Amino acid sequence: MKTKTLTLKQIAEQIDHHQITGIDMDKITSHSPDITVKDSYEIQQHWEQCALKRGDLKIGWKMGLTSVAKQRSVGVNEPIYGRLTNSMEVHSNTLSLKGLIHPRVEPEIAFVIKEELKGDQLTARDVWKATEFIMPAVEVIDSRYKNFSFTLVDVVADNASSSRFFLSDQAFSPFHTPLDKLEVNMYRNGEKVQSGVGSAVLGHPVKSVIELAKMLHHVGLAIQPGMVILTGGITEAVNVYDGDELKVTFDSLGEINFDVKKEKED
Ligand code: 0L1
Ligand code: MG
C-alpha cells in the first residue's frame, strides 16, 4: 500500500465513478504521487470487482500502447493491458456519447481464445492453436483524466482507457489472411483520416497476445477460454463527435460502420 491518503481500492472506486458518470477527473498521481505501475494493475483488479458487483461480466482483455508511436507519446517502451467487460461492447451501429468524456476510436484485430494461454514463453504457434477465430474490431478509448493527459501509472489505473468496443458481425479463421499485412483505413464523414497495416501492432497482432499472456503470467494470471482480446491500435486513434459517421475497412476482412450520437438511440 503506497498512498497515504487513499487506498488502492478507494482509488479504484473513484475511477469507477468517473467511468460511469462520464465526468473527467484529476490524474491520480496528482494526489498519490507514490503509486507504482504494479499498484495501478492492482487498482485495475479492484475496479474489476466494482464492475462485477454491479452485474457486469469480464469478457476479455485489451492491449494498449502496442505501437512505437503510442509508447513514445507516454514515454514508455512497453505495452499495457486492461480489462474488457460485457457492458463495453456496443451491439448496434451507434456509438452513444452518454457517459463518455472525449472518446477516440482506433481499428484493431480481436482474437477469441478457445484454450487457456498461460506462460511467459509462448510462441505464435501456441497462440494460433488456442485461437478460435479472429474479428475486425474498433476500440473506443476514453481517458477519464482531464485533457486526455496522464502518466503510465495513471493510464494503467484507468484500465488502459478502456471504454467501448465494436466487433464485426463476421468472424474469420485465424488463417484467413496474414494479419501483419492487413491494410486498414478509417473514414470519418467520408474523409480518410487514418490508414495503417497490422504490423503496427508489435510487428504482428499475434505478438500482442503472446505479450499479454506473459504480462498476466507475471501476476499469476492466464488468458481463459472464451476471452476476447483486443490486440492494439493499427492506426492512431481519432476523436469522434456527435453526428460523425465512421467507416473502417479491413481489406479482405470487411468493414465496420457506425455513427456517433449524443444519446443512445437503440
Ligand atoms: O488502446 C490503447 O492503445 C490506449 C492505451 C492508453 C493510452 C491512450 O489512452 O491513448
Ligand atoms: Mg486500443
Would strands 131-141 and 162-167 be described as parallel, antiparallel, or unpaired?
A: antiparallel
What is the distance between the alpha carbons of residues 161 and 133, in angstroms, rounded to a whole number? 25
Enumerate domains of the chain plus CATH numbers. 3-261 (3.90.850.10)
Distance 70 CA to ligand 1 centre (A): 7
Q: Is there an atom of ligand 1 within 6 Å of 160 CB? A: yes
| Residues 97-118: tens digit of each pLDDT | 999 999 999 999 999 999 999 9
Residue 155 CB less than 6 A away from ligand 1: yes
The pLDDT value given to residue 266: 46
Report the C-alpha gap between 63 and 137 in whole angstroms. Answer: 13
What pLDDT, in 10s, does the model give residues 68-84?
888 988 889 899 999 99
pLDDT 10s digits, 141-167 = 999 999 999 999 999 999 999 999 999
Does the CB atom of residue 153 touch ligand 1 within 6 A? no
| Count of other CB atoms within 10 angstroms of residue 33 | 12
Q: Average pLDDT, stretch 128-139? A: 98
Chain center to CA of 101 = 16
Query: Do residues 163 and 101 lie in contact, with contact meaning Cβ atoms separated by under 8 Å?
Result: no
What spatial distance separates the first Cα and last Cα of the chain, rounded to whole Å? 43
Cα-to-centroid distance, 34 and ligand 2 (Å): 27
